[in-house]
Structures are given as structure tokens and as C-alpha cells.
């Protein structure tokens, strides 16, 4: 903490005040923040090297649940996109137990599944469905995009594309006349769309169109957008 580049973002004390959950980084100037993380400290540890007490960077939603216990979550959406398996394993750092659980950004009270777009393919075989999970319409979660055989149930997670909390990356879409897909994005996100496609998605080709004139200042797919390809 005596490093001249050290930056403290926030600290949360355990219920009895004896320990600290610290979120920190190093100010790298024009390069931004880096080499930081979350550290679990006794109050007396603040003079020591924080790296000795830093927990896994991939843990999110980290908070105290007791004087010697912390809850943390692992974002499983990247694993769902890639088709890879994930392991959930509890940890211990500085004699504090960290209970780890999977997190998919669908809270128990997200009882609404909002359908932003639903469209049947020209050959009547498939449906394209863009949907998201929300507690309220004023707090939008990210988009899931699935292609299913007509009449099939909507899968819990998108089987074609799953976005994240930063953006939906595609802001409109639908079927072309040759039963392929067309998605619309903007210049800011066009190069990133590829990273949010589901690896084992249905074998239907897509075309990506950059439409800054309509979507240059948006980051979410909303049903009020009129599809451009029709």
C-alpha cells in the first residue's frame, strides 16, 4: 500500500471490524489501472505485500457473510458460450473461507423474460428469438439470442449469441430471404461480436451489418427498433 502507484478503490470490513476486503489497483498512467485485485486482510496486514492475500481475479460479487467467511461468484456465461466445463471450488485465503458459487446474471426474482424479437425463417423451419431476463423493464439485463426449430421451447441461455453487461453487441436482427441470419451492430462493437457467439451454435450462417446511422449511440437491442433488412 506504500507503492506510489497504489490506488484503493474500496474496502469492506468484516462484521467485527477485524478484517478487510480490499479492492485495489496500480495506476499505470496513460495505460490505465492494472495488476490489482481483491485482497483479504487482517487489519494488521495492511503494511504487507497485498499479493500474498489477493484472491482470484475471476471472482465477482464478493462480500462478507461472517467474520471469517466470504461469498464470491464465478461468471459461468463465458463457459456456456465456449461449451467448456467449469469447476466450483471453495477457497481459503488468510484463514478466511471463501464460498464460491456459479452466477449467470439471472437472479431468483428475475421472473420476467422479455422477448425483444421473435421471427420465423422464410422456410418455416426455424425461429430466431432475442430475449433477456429482467426484474423490471428499467433495469435491462443482457441479450440472449437463440435459433430453435419452430415450436420448440426457448432455451434458458442463448444458443447462438450471449452478450454481457457492457453491451448486447447486436442491436437488431432477423432472417434473410435465403434462410440465413442478418444482425445489425455499430462501428464500436462490430469487431467484438465474434467473441459473444456460442461456439456450438446452430449451423446457420449470419451476416453482420454495421449501421451507425441507426445504432451508433445504443448498446441494447430493443423491440421498438424496426428491422432494417425487410
- The 10s digit of each residue's pLDDT in 59-76 is 999 999 999 999 999 999
225 located within any domain = no
**Strand spans (E) along the chain:** 6-13, 19-27, 33-42, 59-66, 69-75, 91-93, 96-103, 112-120, 126-134, 144-149, 161-162, 172-175, 181-185, 206-210
Residue range 138-196, pLDDT digits in tens: 667 899 999 999 999 999 999 999 999 999 999 999 999 999 999 999 999 999 999 99
Indicate whether 25 and 42 sit together in one domain: yes
Percent of the chain with pLDDT strictly greater than 90? 71
Domain count for the chain, please give it: 2
pLDDT at position 136 over 80? no
CB 17 within 8 A of CB 64: no
Q: The domain containing residue 44 runs over which residues?
A: 6-103
* Structure confidence at residue 138 (pLDDT): 65
Can you give the pTM of this predicted structure? 0.86
Predicted confidence band at 226 (pLDDT cuts at 50, 70, 90)? very low
Indicate whether 53 and 77 sit together in one domain: yes
CB 185 within 8 A of CB 198: no
Distance CA(8)–CA(24), nearest Å, equals 4
15 located within any domain = yes
221 located within any domain = no
Predicted confidence band at 225 (pLDDT cuts at 50, 70, 90)? very low
Amino acid at each position: 500500500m506504500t507503492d506510489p502507484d497504489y490506488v484503493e478503490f474500496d474496502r469492506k470490513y468484516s462484521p467485527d471490524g477485524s478484517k478487510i476486503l480490499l479492492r485495489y489497483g496500480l495506476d499505470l498512467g496513460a495505460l490505465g489501472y492494472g495488476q490489482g485485485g481483491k485482497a483479504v486482510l487482517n487489519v494488521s496486514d495492511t503494511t504487507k505485500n497485498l499479493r500474498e492475500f489477493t484472491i482470484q481475479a475471476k471472482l465477482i460479487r464478493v462480500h462478507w457473510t461472517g467474520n471469517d467467511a466470504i461469498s464470491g461468484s464465478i461468471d459461468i456465461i463465458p463457459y456456456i458460450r465456449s461449451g467448456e466445463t467449469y469447476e466450483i471450488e471453495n477457497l481459503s485465503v488468510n484463514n478466511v473461507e471463501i464460498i464460491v458459487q456459479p452466477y449467470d446474471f439471472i437472479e431468483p426474482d428475475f421472473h420476467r423474460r422479455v422477448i425483444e424479437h421473435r421471427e420465423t425463417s422464410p422456410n418455416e423451419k426455424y425461429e430466431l428469438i432475442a430475449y433477456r431476463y429482467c426484474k423490471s423493464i428499467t433495469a435491462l439485463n443482457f441479450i440472449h439470442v437463440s435459433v430453435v426449430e419452430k415450436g420448440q421451447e426457448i432455451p434458458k441461455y442463448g444458443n447462438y449469441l450471449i452478450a454481457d453487461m457492457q453491451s448486447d453487441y447486436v442491436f437488431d436482427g432477423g432472417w434473410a430471404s435465403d434462410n440465413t441470419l442478418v444482425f445489425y451492430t455499430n462501428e464500436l462493437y462490430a469487431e467484438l461480436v465474434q467473441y459473444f457467439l456460442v461456439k456450438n451454435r446452430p449451423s446457420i450462417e449470419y451476416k453482420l451489418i454495421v449501421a451507425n446511422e441507426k445504432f451508433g449511440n445504443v448498446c441494447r437491442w430493443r423491440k421498438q427498433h424496426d428491422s432494417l433488412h425487410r
